[in-house]
A and B are shown apart, each in its own frame.
Chain A
Amino acid sequence: TFIDVGSNFATYAIQEDNLLAQLVQNGRRVVFMGDDTWEGLFPKKFFRSYFFPSFNVKDLHTVDDGILQHLYPTVDSGEWDVLIAHFLGVDHCGHKHGPDHPEMAKKLTQMNEMLRSLVDHLGNDTLLLVAGDHGMTETGDHGGDSEKEVNAALFVYSRTPLFGSGPPEEPETIPQVNLVPTVALLLGVPIPYSNIGEVMAELFSGDGDAVSAALQQLSVYHINAKQVDRFLHSYSLVAQDLPAEQLQRLQELFSGAVEEHTQLLAQVQGATLVPLELESRLGSLISHFQRYLREARAVCTQSWARFHSLRMVGGCVLIAASCLLCYVASELAASSDSFYRSCLLYPLLWGLMGAILLGLAHVFTQEGLDLLLGGRLTVPESPKQQLLGFSSYRREIWYLLCLVAMLLLCVRLSGFFHQCREEIPQCRPSLFLSPLASLRSTRAKNLFYLLCVALLVGLVYAVRSWLRHYGNLNSSDPLVLFVRWGFPLVALCITCYWAVASSADDSLGKLQELVQVAVVAFPWAVYGLTSMGLLLLLCNPMTVFAKDTRESAGSIVTPYLGVPGSEVDFLHVIPQIYKRMQESQKSRLERGSSRATVAAYGLGSVYSAALVIALTLLGFLLMLLHSERLSFAFLLLFLEAFVLLHIHSCARGLAGDAEPFSVPWYAVISWLLAASQFFYSTGHQPIFPAIHWNAAFVGFHLDHSTNLLPAVLVGANTFASHILFAVGCPLLLLWPFVCEMPNSQRKKPKKESREELQEVQEHMMEMRLRESPEKFSTALLQLGLKYLFVLGTQLLACVCAAMILRRHLMVWKVFAPKFLFESLGFVVSSICLLLGISLVMRVDCAVSAWFSQLRLR
C-alpha cells in the first residue's frame, strides 16, 4: 500500500534476503562494532552492537578507537558466533590525506598491530576474514571503475591449517560476492536467496584425504549451484532482462551437472570406483559446477551492472536539441508577425515536448541516473543573480528599490522553511515543517493557529481587494459570486480542518467520532469548492460588468465623466472604466441620432483576473496539503511573485515601450528561479525521505483503494511551487499592461475634452492586447517557449551532471533523486504552463464572444 512505499523510501534498511538475516533467523549471535551506517541497513539484527558515528570524513579515530576498546573483551568473552568489526580509519584517511601520507602509514601500522594481537585471541575453530570493500585511487578516492579502486585485499586466517598443500604463489582474484555463500555454508546457514557468488572451495577441504575433501567440496558446490539456479529461474519469471538463450544454456549446463552428480554419488555409495578414477571424475564435476556458477554470474553482471552510455548521450542530445528548438522557435515567433506560422509552431511545440519526455523516460528507465547542481546551496544564491539584471534600470526610483528590498527580504525569510539533507549533519530542519498537532505547549499552538488563520484571511482579503481595485467584482456572474462568497467559505473550511487536525487526540472524548468525520469532511468541502470554482472559471471566465447606456446625441457628458467625485475617488474607489469608442461610433453610424455607450467595468484586467482567481484557488488547495505553518511560506510565495511582477512591469515602464509584446529573458529566468527557490522553501528536498507522505491522507481517513489519487496528492504537495509559478507564467506578459493603467490615467488631466480622452483610453490595459490578436497569441507562445527553454536547460544540466558523475560515490543518494525530481518537476511545470496558457486563451475566446455579442446589440 501507499504507506509502505513511504516507509520503504524513508529508511534504507535492506529488505531482501541477506546473510545477516539468515544468521539471525538461524539463531546465530551476531555482534557488530564500528560504522553506524549498519544500524540503518540492518536495524535490530544484532545480538550486541557498538555503533560509532561515521559521517565525518575528517575524523580518523573515533570509530577505530571505539572498536579497539571493545574488540578483545568481546572476542574473549565468546558470546558470539559472528563478529563484525568495521574499521573506518583507513578509508577516511584515504579520503582526507590520500594513500601516501604519513597519517596513512600510522593508520596502517595501527591496523597491523590490531591484527597481530587479534590473532592471539582467536580460538582453534575460528576463521578470520580481513577484507577491504574497495581500493583507492592515487588521490584516495573511490567509486569509479579503475583497477586500483575495485581491487582490495582479502586475508583469510585460521589456526588450523586451511590448505592441504602450501598456499599458491600467486594469489588468485576472487569476486566479492563469493564471500557470502562461503561464510553462509561455513556457518551452516542457507545461502541467501539472491546470491550469485561462488563458494571458495579451498576453505571446505577439511583435514581428511583428497577424496573426502573433494566430496565435501562437491556437496558445497551442489548446494550453491542449486541456490543460483533457483534464483535465476524465479528471476527470469519476473523480469525479462536476462537473454533467453543464455538462460537456456545455463539451464542445460546445470541439469547436466546435477545428473552427473547423482550418478557419481550412487557409484560412490556402491563403491564401484577405483579411487584414482573417482578423484578425476570428482575433479571434472567440480569444474563443471564451477563453470556453471561463473557463467551465471557473468550473464548477470553483463545485464545488470552496465550503463547504456549511448542511450544516455542520446537522451542528452534529445533534450539539448529540444531546448535549442524551443529557443529558435521563440526567436522565430518574435520575428514573425503571421499568426499562421505560430499555428504551425503549436503542434511542433507539443510534439517536441513529447520527444523530450520520451527521451527522458528513456534515459531514466534505462539507468536512472542523475544529478546534483549543488541543490540547495545554489538556489538561495541564484535569486541574487537576477537582481543584477535590474541594476541598469536603477534610476532614482525609490519605489523600485523598495520592491527589490522586499524581494530580498522574501528570499531571506523563505530560508527559514528549509528541510534538511542528511549529508549536512549540523543542519536543523525548520520547526515550521512539523504539523501543529505535534506542538506541546498549547499557547504556542494557539498562537500559531491564530497566525495561520489571520494569514488566510489576509490572503482572501488581498485578492478580493485587488480584484475590486480593478473592478472585477461588480458583475453578478456566478464566478464573481463565487469569488465573493466562495473564497471566504474555502478559507473557513481550511481553518476548521486545521483546527480539528491540530487538536489533541484525547482531549475531545466523546466527540471523537465527530472529529473523525470532520477530518474527512472539511478537506472534501475544500476540494469540492475549489473544483467548482475552477469549473466556473472555465465556463465563464469573464469578470466584466457591462453597463449599457443610451444617450441622446446632444448629451455631452459621457457616463463615466458623469460619475461624481474627485479624480482621486475615481481612481481608487470607483472601478476602472473602459469605453468602447468604436462601439459608440459604430452605433452612431448605424442609428444616426441616438448612440449607445457601453461602460464596462473591469475589462482592463479580464485576463489577469481569471489567472489570479485560478492561482488563489490552487494556492488554497496546496496549502491544505501542506502542514499548517507552511502557509507562511505560501504567503511569501505569493508576495514574492507579486513583487517580481511589479519589478518586471516597473523595469518595463522605465525601459520604454520598445517591444511591448515580448517578455524579456531576465523576467522569465527570475520567475523560474523563484519557482525552484520555493520548491525548497515549502519544505522539500530532492531526496525521497523528505517527501511529505502525510499529504496523501488529507481528506482520506483510511487507506486508499488505488494508488493514483494519493500519488496525485503527494505530487501536488511536492511540486506546489512549480504548479503555481507555471500557471501564473502568463501573468508576466499581462502584468505590465495592468500596471500601466494608473500611470497613464494619472497623466491625463480631467479637463481634457471628452473626445481626446476616449482617443487616449481607447486601448488601455490588457485591451491593448486585443488590438492585435495575432501579436497577442505569438507573444503567449513565445513566453511559453521561453519558459520551456529555461526549464529544459535546467533539466539538461541535471541530466549531464548525472551522466558525468554516474560513477560517483553518492550517485544514488544525491544525483539520481535530484534528476528524478527535476524531470518530474519539468513534466508538472510543462503541463501547468499549458493549462495556464489555455486558460488565457479561453478568456480570450470569451472576450471575443462578448464583443461580438455587444456588436449585435
Chain B
Amino acid sequence: NLLCASCAALTAVLPGFFLKGFSVLGSHLTWLCVCSVCVGSLNVILHLVLKPNQSPKRSSFSHKISRFLKCCIYFFMSCILFHAIIVLYGAPLIESVTETFLFAVLLSTFTTLQCLCMLGPNIQAWIRVFSKNGAMSIWESSLQITSICSILGAWFGAFPIPLDWDRPWQVWPISCSLGATFGYVAGLIIAPLWIHWNRKQVTYKSR
C-alpha cells in the first residue's frame, strides 16, 4: 500500500524535527514554527509528487493561481478560527498571544493544510468527508482519522495543565502542542491499519 509507505516515512521523519528544534521545552516557540513549517512543506511536497486526486479536466495556469490563493486564505482563516476556539476553550485572552497563535497554526497545519492539499478549497467536499460515513477513498478516510486524532490529542494535552506538579512541560501551550503532535503521529499510524482492517468496506464504498 502506497499510503502505508508514505505514512511510515512521515512518522520516521517527524522525530528528526524534534531534534532540530534544540530542545522542545526550552525554545518552544521556535520548535512550534519549525515543526509546523516542516510538516506543512512535507505535506505540500507529497501532494505535488503523488497527486492523489487528479482532477479530470486540465486547469489553466490562472486557475491554479487563484486556487493557490484561495488555499492560502483558507489556511489563514482556519488559523484565526482555531485561535478563537482555543481561547474559548480557556486559553488566556491577552497574555501569550503568540504562543496561542502558533499553536493554532500548528493545529491547522495538522488538519486544514492536509484537507487543502487533498480536497482543495472546496467546502462542500470537506463537509462530506467529515460527516458520518462520508469518506469515499483511502485518502479521505486517512485524512479524517489524522485530523480527528490531532485535535483529540491537543484536547487531551490540556489535561495536565491545571495539575500542580510544576513540571516545565506543563506550561501553556507545550503540553497541548505535544499532545497534538502525538495525536497526529498516532493518526498517521492508525490510518493505514484501520484502512487495512476495513479494506473491503472502503473499496465497496468507493465504487
Contacts and interface: CB of A to CB of B under 8 A. Distances in A.
A408 B88 contact: yes
A396 B127 contact: yes
Contacts of A394: 130-131
A395 B131 contact: yes
A409 B159 CA distance: 20
Contact of B162 (A58, A377, A395): A377
Interface string B37-50: 00000000000000
A14 interface: no
A374 interface: yes
Contact of B87 (A58, A380, A412): A412
Contact of B90 (A378, A395, A405, A412): A412
Nearest to B127: A396
B132 interface: yes
Contacts of B85: 408
A415 B90 contact: yes
Given A58-B166, A412-B87, A412-B90, A381 B158 contact: yes
A248 interface: no
Contacts of A415: 90
Contacts of B158: 381
A392 interface: yes
A508 B127 CA distance: 64
Contacts of B162: 374, 377-378, 381
Nearest to A411: B88
A392 B162 CA distance: 28
Interface in A72-118: none
Contact of B155 (A58, A380, A384, A408): A384
Interface string A406-426: 001101100100000000000
A99 B60 CA distance: 74
B88 A405 contact: yes
A192 B130 CA distance: 73
A496 B151 CA distance: 50
A384 B127 contact: no
Given A377-B162, A384-B155, A392-B132, A409 B127 contact: no
B132 A384 contact: no
A281 B107 CA distance: 86
Contact of A380 (B90, B163, B166): B90
B197 interface: no
A395 to B, nearest CB: 6
A384 B85 CA distance: 11
Interface in B82-122: 85, 87-90
Contacts of B130: 394
A408 B86 CA distance: 10
Interface centre among B127, B130, B162, B163 (most CB of A within 10 A): B162
A411 B131 CA distance: 26
**Max chain A C-beta neighbours (<10 A), residue from B89, B127, B155, B163:** B89
A412 B127 contact: no
Interface of B is mostly: loop
Contacts of A381: 90, 158-159, 162
Interface residues of A, number: 17
Interface in A387-409: 392, 394-396, 405, 408-409
Contacts of B90: 380-381, 412, 415
A412 B132 contact: no
A411 B87 CA distance: 11
Nearest to B159: A381
A844 B32 CA distance: 60
A398 to B, nearest CB: 11
Nearest to A380: B90
Interface in B148-174: 155, 158-159, 162-163, 166
Contacts of A408: 85, 88-89
Contact of A384 (B87, B89, B131, B166): B89
Nearest to B162: A377
A384 B155 CA distance: 9
Interface string A370-388: 0000100110110010000
A409 B88 contact: yes
A94 to B, nearest CB: 16
Nearest to B85: A408
Interface in A747-770: none
Contacts of A374: 162
Nearest to B123: A396
Contacts of A380: 90
Contacts of A392: 132
A378 B163 CA distance: 10
A412 B127 CA distance: 27
Contacts of B163: 377
Nearest to A415: B90
Contacts of A377: 162-163
A384 B162 CA distance: 15
Nearest to B130: A394
Interface in A213-256: none
B183 to A, nearest CB: 14
Nearest to A378: B162
B93 to A, nearest CB: 9
A392 B131 CA distance: 7
A476 B158 CA distance: 55
Contacts of A395: 127, 131
A786 to B, nearest CB: 26
A378 to B, nearest CB: 8
B86 to A, nearest CB: 11
A415 B89 CA distance: 11
A411 B88 CA distance: 8
A259 B158 CA distance: 71
Nearest to A423: B164
A405 B131 CA distance: 19
Nearest to A377: B162
B131 A412 contact: no
A409 B88 CA distance: 6
Nearest to B151: A391
A380 B127 CA distance: 30
Given A384-B155, A395-B131, A412 B166 contact: no
Interface in B59-93: 85, 87-90
A97 to B, nearest CB: 13
Nearest to A408: B88
> Which of B87, B90, B130 has the most chain A CB within a 10 Å cutoff?
B90
A58 B158 CA distance: 24
A374 B160 CA distance: 12
Nearest to B163: A377
Nearest to A392: B132
Interface in A681-731: none
A265 B21 CA distance: 86
A754 to B, nearest CB: 40
B179 to A, nearest CB: 14
A207 B159 CA distance: 66
A394 B132 CA distance: 9
A166 to B, nearest CB: 49
A830 to B, nearest CB: 30
Contacts of A409: 88
Contacts of A58: 166
A718 B8 CA distance: 56
Contacts of B132: 392
Nearest to A96: B166
**Which of A378, A380, A408 has the most C-beta atoms of chain B within 10 angstroms of its own C-beta?**
A408
Nearest to B91: A412
A378 B161 CA distance: 11
Nearest to A412: B88
11 contacts: A374-B162, A381-B162, A384-B155, A395-B127, A405-B88, A408-B85, A408-B89, A409-B88, A412-B89, A412-B90, A415-B90
Given A412-B89, A412-B90, 16 more contacts: A58-B166, A374-B162, A377-B163, A380-B90, A381-B158, A381-B162, A384-B155, A392-B132, A395-B131, A405-B88, A408-B85, A408-B88, A408-B89, A412-B87, A412-B88, A415-B90
Top 5 nearest A-B pairs (CB, nearest first) are A377-B162, A408-B88, A412-B88, A396-B127, A395-B131
